[in-house]
């Protein structure tokens, strides 16, 4: 609208000039015609003030206004010129801020060199893994070098000369912490990190035919703080690195799950391994007899299960390896627990043994019963025995948290099913019989039986 107004005024001004010119020509013509007549009156005719007034009233004055308004218009192009002059000045301030990083350098002192690759590596192979070679030795240069091994390991070698000023190697850390996530070796010039691609906070991503493991390495810096501000003189380093594994084939793994009644076949030898889990029911009938020894003198039969027990009654358990006569075989117990379902992973559960030892958080501790040659058994290493006090399961939401008592008696579970993880190993001949043995090969199996209140 501003431009249109200016244009309109200019047109009006031009029109005014044309009109003014016509008027002046008419005045001149009128003034010349009476000049032929004689007398003093003709020159007085153009002096009449009424005739020059129209040009003064007409728009000759308006052109002055467009001349003032367009005046700033030429100044507008100067603003882009000032803007263009300032824009290149910003990179000049920002670019010098980051310190220039030194390029890969192989000028490493002999006593500071970290070997790279295998001993018989060729110079071309050494360069292919971003290392330096002087014709005799392959070593890491003054940079940060990342390598990915075929067995899914990260190897990261950090040189203090990777930044200017030099990097403080003690401040370098990975994305996640934990065991093995610090440098495994170092000297005054290098720090070496070696960890699995799935450890130390690594992120796993998958693309078409490619599995990517990604981690991040950062360095911290010391900040000096005063009342008016803070400064640092340390360089900050951050590196994002990846290992990309390309799959060449897809292998299918089929796992068959057997029911509890049919234990899985042995993985160490052909043929089944039979293990029996049973409860003892021997009773003391004489004064001064050992209840534990007498308890294992007889056992419940298959027809007796589920066995009825009273709360806090001792439950005597025996696990036996059947149909084996090799004295070098050793049966060991892992975890033994109970739940209310035939399925081992169903909840609720209660531990009885952990790694063959009594569960410490139970007020009524279970006990491991020693089995040796004094037990009268031909192969004591084929047996394991323990006892616990009978219990039952309750729903935790029906329990008063202050009194630890059940609010509703109907929530008590009257069935308890005992389960054990069992390992069978073969020990060396020079070993003596003990409850735990170092095995050259192991067979793992699983057994359960049912007890009711």
Note down pLDDT in tens along the chain; length 453 residues.
Answer: 444 433 333 333 333 333 333 333 333 433 344 444 444 455 555 555 555 555 555 555 555 555 445 455 554 444 444 444 444 444 443 434 434 434 458 888 888 889 988 888 898 888 888 889 888 889 998 888 888 888 889 999 998 888 878 888 888 889 888 888 988 888 888 999 999 999 999 999 888 888 899 999 888 878 788 776 677 777 778 889 989 888 765 555 555 555 556 555 555 555 677 889 999 998 888 887 888 888 999 999 989 988 888 888 999 999 999 988 888 889 999 999 988 888 888 888 889 999 999 998 888 889 999 998 888 888 999 999 999 998 888 766 555 655 555 555 555 667 888 999 988 888 765 444 344 444 444 555 555 555 553
Query: Based on the domain organization, do 447 and 348 belong to the same domain?
Result: yes
CA–CA separation, 366 and 352 (whole Å): 6
Instruction: Find the CATH number of the domain harbouring 355.
Output: 2.60.40.4100
The pLDDT score that the predictor gives to residue 341 is: 85
Instruction: Find the CATH number of the domain harbouring 225.
Output: 2.60.40.3210
- Give the domain range for residue 177: 110-246
In this structure, is residue 79 part of a structural domain? Answer: no
The pLDDT score that the predictor gives to residue 424 is: 86
Query: Based on the domain organization, do 242 and 315 belong to the same domain?
Result: no
In this structure, is residue 83 part of a structural domain? Answer: no
In this structure, is residue 265 part of a structural domain? Answer: no
In this structure, is residue 85 part of a structural domain? Answer: no
The pLDDT score that the predictor gives to residue 99 is: 43
The answer to whether the beta carbons of residues 209 and 195 sit under 8 Å apart is: no
Query: Based on the domain organization, do 445 and 332 belong to the same domain?
Result: yes
- pTM equals 0.39
The answer to whether the beta carbons of residues 63 and 10 sit under 8 Å apart is: yes
The pLDDT score that the predictor gives to residue 42 is: 53
Query: Based on the domain organization, do 60 and 176 belong to the same domain?
Result: no
Query: Based on the domain organization, do 321 and 188 belong to the same domain?
Result: no
Query: Based on the domain organization, do 353 and 428 belong to the same domain?
Result: yes
In this structure, is residue 104 part of a structural domain? Answer: no
In this structure, is residue 392 part of a structural domain? Answer: yes
Query: Based on the domain organization, do 207 and 305 belong to the same domain?
Result: no
Query: Based on the domain organization, do 56 and 139 belong to the same domain?
Result: no
The pLDDT score that the predictor gives to residue 399 is: 56
CA–CA separation, 18 and 77 (whole Å): 33
Cα-based torsion angle of the residue sequence 152, 158, 162, 165 in order, rounded to the nearest 10 degrees: 140
The pLDDT score that the predictor gives to residue 49 is: 54
Number of domains present in the structure of the chain: 3
In this structure, is residue 258 part of a structural domain? Answer: no
Burial class (CB in 10 A: 0-12, 13-18, 19+), 116: buried
Q: Which of 203, 230, 246 is where one domain is finished?
A: 246
CA–CA separation, 387 and 172 (whole Å): 53
């Amino acid at each position: 609208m501003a431009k249109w107004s200016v244009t309109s005024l200019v047109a009006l001004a031009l029109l005014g000039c044309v009109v003014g010119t016509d008027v002046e020509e008419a005045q001149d013509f009128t003034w010349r015609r009476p000049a032929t007549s004689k007398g003093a009156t003709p020159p007085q005719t153009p002096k009449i003030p009424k005739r020059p007034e129209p040009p003064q009233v007409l728009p000759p004055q308006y052109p002055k206004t467009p001349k003032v308004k367009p005046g700033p218009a030429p100044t507008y192009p100067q603003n882009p010129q000032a803007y263009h002059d300032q824009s290149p000045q910003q990179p000049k301030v920002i670019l010098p801020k980051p310190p220039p990083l030194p390029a890969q350098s192989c000028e490493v002192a002999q006593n500071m060199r970290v070997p790279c690759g295998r001993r018989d590596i060729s110079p071309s192979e050494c360069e292919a893994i971003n290392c330096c070679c002087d014709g005799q030795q392959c070593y890491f240069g003054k940079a940060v070098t990342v390598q990915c091994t075929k067995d899914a390991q990260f190897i990261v070698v950090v040189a203090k000369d990777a930044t200017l000023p030099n990097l403080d190697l003690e401040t370098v850390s990975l994305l996640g912490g934990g065991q093995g996530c610090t440098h495994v070796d170092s000297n005054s010039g290098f720090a070496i990190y070696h960890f699995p691609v799935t450890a130390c906070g690594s992120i796993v991503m998958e693309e078409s035919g490619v599995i990517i493991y990604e981690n991040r390495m950062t360095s911290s810096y010391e900040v000096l703080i005063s009342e008016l501000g803070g400064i640092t003189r340390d360089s900050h380093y951050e590196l994002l690195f990846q290992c990309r594994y390309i799959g060449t084939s897809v292998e299918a793994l089929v796992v068959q799950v057997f029911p509890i009644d049919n234990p899985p076949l042995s993985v160490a030898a052909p043929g089944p391994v039979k293990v029996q889990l049973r409860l003892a029911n021997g009773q003391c009938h004489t004064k001064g007899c050992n209840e534990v020894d007498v308890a294992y003198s007889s056992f419940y039969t298959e027809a007796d299960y589920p066995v009825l027990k009273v709360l806090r009654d001792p439950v005597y358990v025996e696990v036996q390896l059947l149909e084996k006569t090799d004295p070098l075989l050793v049966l060991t117990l892992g975890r033994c627990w109970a739940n209310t379902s035939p399925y081992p992973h169903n909840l609720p559960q209660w531990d009885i043994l952990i790694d063959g030892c009594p569960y410490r958080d139970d007020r009524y501790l279970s006990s491991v019963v020693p089995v040796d040659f004094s037990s009268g058994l031909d192969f004591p290493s084929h047996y394991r025995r323990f006892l616990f006090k009978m219990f039952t399961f309750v729903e935790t939401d029906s329990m008063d948290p202050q009194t630890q008592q059940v609010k509703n008696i109907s929530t008590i579970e009257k069935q308890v099913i005992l389960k054990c993880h069992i390992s069978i190993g073969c020990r060396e001949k020079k070993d003596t019989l003990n409850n735990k043995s170092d095995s050259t090969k192991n067979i793992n199996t699983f057994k359960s039986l049912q007890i009711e209140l």
